[in-house]
Amino acid sequence: MAELEENGQNQEVQSEIKEEQKVQPAAEKVATESADDNFDWDSFEADDMSLEGAKKEDLEKLYDETLSTISEKEVIDGTVIAMNKREVVINIGFKSDGIVSRNEFRYNPDLKVGDQVEVYVESQEDKKGQLVLSHKKARALRSWDRVNEALEKDEVIKGYIKCRTKGGMIVDVFGIEAFLPGSQIDVKPIRDYDVFVGKTMEFKVVKINPEFKNVVVSHKALIEAELEQQKKEIISKLEKGQVLEGTVKNITSYGVFIDLGGVDGLIHITDLSWGRVSHPEEIVQLDQKLNVVILDFDDEKKRIALGLKQLTSHPWDSLNQELKVGDIVKGKVVVMADYGAFVEIAAGVEGLIHVSEMSWSQHLRSAQDFLKVGDEVEATVLTLDRDERKMSLGIKQLKPDPWDNIEEKYPMGSKHSAKVRNFTNFGVFVEIEEGIDGLIHISDLSWTKKVKHPAEFTAIGEEIEVVVLEIDKENRRLSLGHKQLEENPWDVFETIFTVDSIHEGTIVDIFDKGAVIALPYGVEGFATPRHLVKEDGSQAKAEEKLQFKVIEFNKGAKRIILSHSRIFEDEKRSEEQTAKKEQVKAAETTKKNVKKLKDNLEKTTLGDISELAALKDQMEADEKKPRE
């Protein structure tokens, strides 16, 4: 197709040349006729044409001087003398004109006859005798010099936008592909890049990287200077409170940028509406025209703060004047926090329901346990300050206070089922019903078990049976018990685990200060390390079953002190005491017998010798008995 177009272009040019040649013979004929009248035939016949020859040489010299001296592979300037949709005819002062494809001037749609252009001489004469020129190659050879010159002199240049690329556009500048960032196309954000493809625009060169042959251009830089002047003029005329018309230029999560006709202002999200706004898109749209009021501006930083809601009166000013504390209002939850919920009862009029006003319950909870954003609620007005534009609301007030008839509903000694809500080191917090909380002290959990922490006895969320022990209506507190559901077993234990009584026990836990021993009937006792020594001298170990003697029983403290070693120690001591008693008894008997003997010696006769010998034998026999 390119060859066909070129042939067609050549035919058109040749046809134009033929038209010119038709005119030339007639002109030559007239010139010949005029020359014949003045021709020196006598000299011609005499073969004396030296003078005419000299004139011919002068004419040839004069003709050569009218032609430019050109060389191939050279860049020169030419003049556009003709053009059509496909070709441009350029005169470079040579004996023939050159033809360049119109595509090479695509970047310059304003090209016209008489414009000076640069061309590269590829060939003075091709096979058809035609001068071959290239504008594209000429631009390429001079492009880097021109680009650098444009950067140094801050010149405005033209470029042709060829196509889109990541982050911007590719621009043909002097035959070089330059990069136009998306942010440098215009001062306004560009939403559709494709509309710029194929356009010729003015640019400024803003950056050149010779090493990588990269060129960055900007169209925005051209209009920023103009805008800067416009901004100064506009800002100089601004006044706080002034109302202007603007166009929505950009929407962000924090606000809206408004074009005021050459200068931008920002409406912060909080200044869009008196009511709560999650995102500015709920209020405005791109390219929307609207009136705004100037809240503040900074001449130096050229920042303009705008407002939209300020054009309407504050909703608090139009709030029903008859609204008072104690009234019931309806509203929608717009914001949630741990400490409460903000309820909008009218556009721009909000009240806070503190978490403590959501339930009669006293234990700590989060507001999210009761409400969520979007809930429609009824509430009672607790406080109302029109000057400060503040209001507090409550929803628990819509229900009767359960503490008003606490003595009737939960009398002392009554039994109830409660839910475990929380633990502390000293007890368990439970809820009998919404708003009625109570504490089970750790000492009131079990009669027999030593509870170190409530988590050992129950778990959060579980149901537990309780007895009301005490009511403190003023402080809204209930003292509860669990062990009181059963009779005190220590009254019975007092008769079983008497001091010095011996029972079988299992060592369940051993620590530095002693051991815990599980006894019959689910009761536990305690023994110090000294009382855990066995008869062979070894120490008792965990899980070992042994006999234990009760050495102390304290009903009030629910304490039983045990000893294993005391059993064999007491037996040994008892045996020693028995032996000692017998020795004492034998000594006393001997003493009595000796005295008796002395008394009888005085009365003894020769006839009593035999009786005395018998008595002696008896005494010796009595002395031997204890030793055996």
Whether the per-residue pLDDT at 86 is higher than 70: the answer is: yes
The arithmetic mean of pLDDT across residues 4-11, rounded, is: 40
Between these two residues, 556 and 61, which has the higher pLDDT value? 556
Q: What is the pLDDT of residue 622?
A: 66
Two tokens at 300?
Answer: 């130096």
Please give the share of the chain, as a percent, with pLDDT higher than 90.
6
Residue that the structure tokens 């990269």 belong to: 214
Q: What is the pLDDT of residue 79?
A: 87
Whether the per-residue pLDDT at 612 is higher than 80: the answer is: no
Distances (CA, A) of 398 to 307, 328, 331, 339, 382: 39, 9, 15, 20, 12
Residue that the structure tokens 């409406």 belong to: 267
- Are the CB atoms for 453 and 422 separated by under 8 Å? no
Closest CA to 169 of 151, 147, 143, 190: 190
Closest CA to 246 of 280, 279, 294, 282: 294
Question: In angstroms, how far is the first alpha carbon of the chain from the final one?
Answer: 146
Domains in the chain: ranges and CATH: 154-223 (2.40.50.140), 238-311 (2.40.50.140), 315-398 (2.40.50.140), 406-485 (2.40.50.140), 490-563 (2.40.50.140), 570-627 (no CATH)
Q: What is the pLDDT of residue 174?
A: 79
Whether the per-residue pLDDT at 305 is higher than 80: the answer is: yes
Residue 85 φ/ψ, nearest 5 degrees = -65, -25
Q: What is the pLDDT of residue 50?
A: 47
Whether the per-residue pLDDT at 254 is higher than 80: the answer is: yes
With a CB cutoff of 8 Å and minimum separation 6, the contacts of 420 are 428, 429, 430, 458, 459, 460, 461, 462, 463, 464
In whole angstroms, give the CA distance from residue 258 to residue 621. Answer: 133
Q: What is the pLDDT of residue 20?
A: 39
Whether the per-residue pLDDT at 17 is higher than 60: the answer is: no
Q: What is the pLDDT of residue 236?
A: 75
pLDDT for 344-367, tens place per residue? 888 788 899 998 888 887 666 788
The arithmetic mean of pLDDT across residues 500-508, rounded, is: 88
In whole angstroms, give the CA distance from residue 279 to residue 76. Answer: 62
With a CB cutoff of 8 Å and minimum separation 6, the contacts of 97 are 81, 89, 90, 91, 131
Of the listed ranges 54-68, 114-128, 343-357, 525-539, the least confidently predicted one is: 54-68
The arithmetic mean of pLDDT across residues 98-125, rounded, is: 82
Whether the per-residue pLDDT at 47 is higher than 90: the answer is: no
Q: What is the pLDDT of residue 613?
A: 67
- 548 Ramachandran zone, left/alpha/beta (phi>0; psi -120 to 50): beta
Whether the per-residue pLDDT at 8 is higher than 60: the answer is: no
Please give the share of the chain, as a percent, with pLDDT higher than 70.
82
Whether the per-residue pLDDT at 62 is higher than 80: the answer is: no
- Are the CB atoms for 184 and 219 separated by under 8 Å? yes
pLDDT, mean over the chain: 78
Of the listed ranges 161-165, 417-421, 506-510, 579-583, the least confidently predicted one is: 579-583
Between these two residues, 627 and 368, which has the higher pLDDT value? 368
Do the bridges between strand 243-251 and strand 289-298 make them parallel or antiparallel, or are there none, so unpaired?
A: antiparallel
Q: What is the pLDDT of residue 626?
A: 52
Whether the per-residue pLDDT at 23 is higher than 50: the answer is: no
Q: What is the DSSP letter of 6?
A: H
